[in-house]
Structure 1
């Protein structure tokens, strides 16, 4: 095992192969990018407080503090945490498995084909171009996933979720009070059918489906409002619990959305013009909300 103690800005180039990356920091930022290179490169561009401990044990590269462990990470608290800050950038082979934990820090992960597991106490997370399975947990930070084709599983307490050009076969998201904006791209007919399951207590849920859509749909709210842009779907209930049910296309996939008191909106992409491909997804600031307005 090789170990470095990083107490000031520093760059490291690792010559041994890396198949797993673990990063855990307090305040600041984490940037992880997958590359076609066989080796990993690490840069700590800013650091305050105790040193970061960088270790390479076999093919596992770890960047963390001595007292910040993965187990129980979402409950981690240190009264001296506000004295810490680090900005860490890591370039790794695209096929590695990535684990990132942040407390009060932002995280950007892109171009990874292996498994991605991210946990955040606070701080926003951006995921771009990930093709492996993704599991994200957040207490209060917002999460944006763009062009993620792997299975996506998200759990949040109060943070908002935005999925842009979601083309994965599986999206499962749960939140207590955060809003969800899910913009789905078309899935390959040769691949597995789409399985979209969304659950919220009080947050709004807006789902935009590709054209043509191909799924069995079941959307339910106990006391919120419903909005439906599809003639093939039925809206039931006028007082109290309401639902949207039915089948789009051949019903190959599954879409289930449930809220207690939040609103649900099912929206459709504009029909593409003859000879054109799918229209581009909206950028995050223009994504539709459950009320049909824009954020």
Structure 2
């Protein structure tokens, strides 16, 4: 087993194969990105408080504190009052199995094919481009996921759960008071969706080609939908929507006690190429960039500077990186921006405009059925 003590900024490259990654930190940021390279790389840009311990044994790479075990989150609340804050970035092979545990820290995981599990208490979690099974559990932190294709399971107490451009065969999500927003893209396979909330609102946006048996229930909230194949029933304040969409091969079930439920239809225009939308290039404008508005009242668009989420390779550990030693090369780490959907809201009733452009988010008011 190899072991490193990291008490200040440092970079490490691991030549031995890495098949499993464990990261357990308190406060700060954790970035994990998949790479096609055979070796794993670690960059610790900031360490405040006790040092991190990095170990590698039998294909398992662990980045954690010695006094904080993976099992038992209550032990992560430091009774000695020591301030902890870290900025950690890792690049691992895409097939690596990843387990991340954070308390008050932001976790960003992207570009992996292996199983991914994230546990958090108050930090937000962002998941992007994952094709393997994903499970994320949080207490008060939000979970935002984009472009996932593997089976997905999300759980939260008060944090919001948001999935954009999901193509998952199975989606299970439950929350107590947080909202659940699910945007599903076109798929060529049946989908099994189950969403449960106590007081949080639920919004689901489905493509036109959806094939599913639908059942949505709320005891005290409202229900709105945009599909002709669905019907409403239920006495007094309770509402229930059932029906079949397409062939009914899949299943969609949403349940909330006092929250509202909205079933929205994904505009067909969102599947069209961008050059057919309202930002298409105007004749004579030249170049490949889309034409921008010429109205002088519109402020200029200033592009932001992109930063990398993955650490730069620094070569194999040299003599300063030997087990039980600490180095101090400086490094900088970019933070990945969370993927936030701009067009889904559980507070909406399903009404809106559908102008045929890529910005359309809800069905026409003539398609809406509100009960």
TM-score w.r.t. the length of structure 2 is 0.74
Matched with 2:346 is: 289
Matched with 1:276 is: 272
Q: Deviations over 1:239-288 (max 9, x none)?
A: 12211100000001000000011000000011348x936999x9524323
Is 1:220 aligned to residue 217 of structure 2? yes
Structure scoring higher RCO (CA < 8 A, sep ≥ 6) equals 2
Matched with 1:39 is: 39
* Deviates further, 63-72 or 155-164: 63-72
Is the 8 Å Cα contact of residues 217 and 248 (structure 1) preserved in structure 2? Answer: yes
Is 1:260 aligned to residue 263 of structure 2? no
Matched with 1:235 is: 232
State the alpha-carbon separation in 2 of the partners of residues 87 and 80 from structure 1.
22
State the alpha-carbon separation in 1 of the partners of residues 79 and 148 from structure 2.
36
Is the 8 Å Cα contact of residues 26 and 76 (structure 2) preserved in structure 1? Answer: no
Q: Which has the larger radius of gyration?
A: 2
State the alpha-carbon separation in 1 of the partners of residues 349 and 27 from structure 2.
36
Matched with 2:320 is: none
Deviation at 1:120, TM superposition (A): 0.3
Structure number having the greater strand percentage: 1
Is the 8 Å Cα contact of residues 74 and 120 (structure 1) preserved in structure 2? Answer: no
Is the 8 Å Cα contact of residues 227 and 290 (structure 1) preserved in structure 2? Answer: no
Q: CA RMSD in A?
A: 2.1
Matched with 1:147 is: 147
State the alpha-carbon separation in 1 of the partners of residues 149 and 21 from structure 2.
21
Is the 8 Å Cα contact of residues 73 and 119 (structure 1) preserved in structure 2? Answer: no
Is 1:60 aligned to residue 60 of structure 2? yes
Which SS does the other structure have where 1:103 is aligned? strand
Is the 8 Å Cα contact of residues 9 and 46 (structure 1) preserved in structure 2? Answer: yes
Deviation at 1:57, TM superposition (A): 0.8
State the alpha-carbon separation in 2 of the partners of residues 220 and 74 from structure 1.
35
State the alpha-carbon separation in 1 of the partners of residues 81 and 103 from structure 2.
9
Matched with 1:86 is: 86
Is the 8 Å Cα contact of residues 235 and 244 (structure 1) preserved in structure 2? Answer: yes
Deviation at 1:81, TM superposition (A): 5.8
Deviation at 1:82, TM superposition (A): 5.9
Is the 8 Å Cα contact of residues 213 and 249 (structure 1) preserved in structure 2? Answer: yes
Matched with 1:208 is: 205
State the alpha-carbon separation in 2 of the partners of residues 40 and 238 from structure 1.
58
Deviation at 1:74, TM superposition (A): 6.4
Is the 8 Å Cα contact of residues 98 and 115 (structure 2) preserved in structure 1? Answer: yes
Instruction: Name structure 1 gaps, 5 residues minimum.
Output: none
Which SS does the other structure have where 2:268 is aligned? coil
Matched with 2:30 is: 30
Deviation at 1:72, TM superposition (A): 1.8
Instruction: Name structure 2 gaps, 5 residues minimum.
Output: 278-338, 351-360, 362-371
TM-score w.r.t. the length of structure 1 is 0.93
* Deviates further, 235-244 or 197-206: 235-244
Deviation at 1:78, TM superposition (A): 1.7
Change (3 A) 1:81 1:65: farther
State the alpha-carbon separation in 2 of the partners of residues 58 and 48 from structure 1.
29
Is the 8 Å Cα contact of residues 74 and 139 (structure 1) preserved in structure 2? Answer: no
State the alpha-carbon separation in 1 of the partners of residues 347 and 202 from structure 2.
5
How many residues of Structure 1 are paired with residues of Structure 2 in the alignment?
289
Is 1:132 aligned to residue 120 of structure 2? no
Change (3 A) 1:134 1:291: same
Deviation at 1:69, TM superposition (A): 1.5
